[in-house]
A and B are shown apart, each in its own frame.
Chain A
């Protein structure tokens, strides 16, 4: 197994300060590893990969990896990613966002990126909370859960990221967890490979801001919760009682061209018409 840790080192920017800025047991570091392994497994050159990050603890991932990286503003990672992909479709563009980033402030960009099917992979690190700013509720905070801005329990219902992105028209939608990390690696690689807009929701514990207020004794307890409550969607669908269970796996696989490809085709068709007429 030694190659796993060693592989990560090939992709880290060693001039950055280590260890990672994240709290002990924060799942974000595991997602970082998964991202690196999936890119490596696909044999992509570092220079052909662009990581576009938003703001949040999750956005800090971009600072550590030796790809082309852009740290954008809160909620706007997908707008910048869309521009990059349209300008240079040969690049593999991955937008790394938190749940607040992608679905609260950036929710509108997300549904339109999915509708347009821009060929970008959206990696959403869902920790059910705003981690960086101190534990305010996000649009994925579960009903009834504690946060600093809903100390009596969240009254609003949470977005189901998978269903929302499916309805918006994305080419691929999947959910994984940092406990089921080998599956997460595979989901990421599949999403990066599929044309069109692909979203991977990675469930990642934030003990500091979410777990502590919601009855977890430690980060480890949150990993145990992921282990016991998440199961492959094929098995989940056969369950009679789904209370407290969450399906993981790939939920949507659609065969569509990315917007950048449709645009290139249109340009080619127009050029041929012009050429023919001349």
Chain B
């Protein structure tokens, strides 16, 4: 299996920090704009914590590189934006 993809939808994220606090691999950080971002995607082990624990359904983990299942949410973020967000230091 390839690398896991982790996506945060900023429109729905409220920056509560649950994902950042509990992810065993420190994949997330909450930025100064009050939104979580993915800062360490490579480390994700698809442990299953973040998706059901995000109170706002704002995290998506796509296991493996090949599985590019799009999110049905209309506010779903373009994966390209995610890369851009990564470059901003939290």
Contacts and interface: CB of A to CB of B under 8 A. Distances in A.
Q: Check if A and B associate.
A: yes
B24 interface: no
Nearest to A9: B72
Contacts of B74: 14
A19 B58 CA distance: 9
Interface residues of A, number: 35
A189 B78 CA distance: 35
A121 B30 CA distance: 37
A178 B53 CA distance: 7
A4 interface: yes
Interface in A143-160: none
B14 A5 contact: no
A26 B51 CA distance: 15
B63 A1 contact: yes
Interface stretch (A30-38, A123-131, A165-173, A267-275): A30-38
B62 A181 contact: no
A94 interface: no
Interface string B42-64: 00001010011111111111110
Contacts of B69: 2, 6
Contact of A1 (B12, B51, B75): B51
A179 B49 CA distance: 10
Interface string A12-46: 10100011101111111110011001000000000
A34 B63 CA distance: 21
Contacts of B11: 18-19
A159 to B, nearest CB: 26
Interface stretch (A65-73, A105-113, A190-198, A215-223): A215-223
A155 to B, nearest CB: 32
A20 B16 CA distance: 13
B14 A25 contact: yes
A140 B47 CA distance: 34
Interface residues of B, number: 32
Contacts of A5: 51, 54, 57, 59-60, 71
A29 B56 contact: yes
Given A19-B11, A223-B22, A181 B71 contact: no
Contacts of A34: 52
B85 interface: no
A37 B53 CA distance: 13
A2 B16 contact: no
A252 interface: no
Interface string A217-253: 0111001100000000000000000000000000000
Given A19-B12, A24-B14, A220-B18, 16 more contacts: A2-B69, A4-B48, A4-B51, A5-B57, A8-B57, A19-B56, A22-B55, A24-B15, A25-B17, A30-B52, A181-B52, A181-B53, A218-B17, A219-B16, A219-B17, A223-B22
Closest 10 CB pairs of A and B: A29-B55, A25-B16, A24-B14, A4-B51, A24-B16, A9-B72, A19-B12, A220-B21, A1-B61, A2-B62
28 contacts: A1-B48, A2-B69, A2-B71, A6-B69, A8-B57, A9-B57, A14-B73, A19-B58, A20-B55, A22-B55, A24-B15, A24-B16, A25-B18, A27-B55, A29-B55, A29-B57, A33-B57, A34-B52, A37-B52, A178-B55, A218-B17, A219-B17, A219-B18, A220-B16, A220-B17, A223-B22, A223-B53, A224-B21
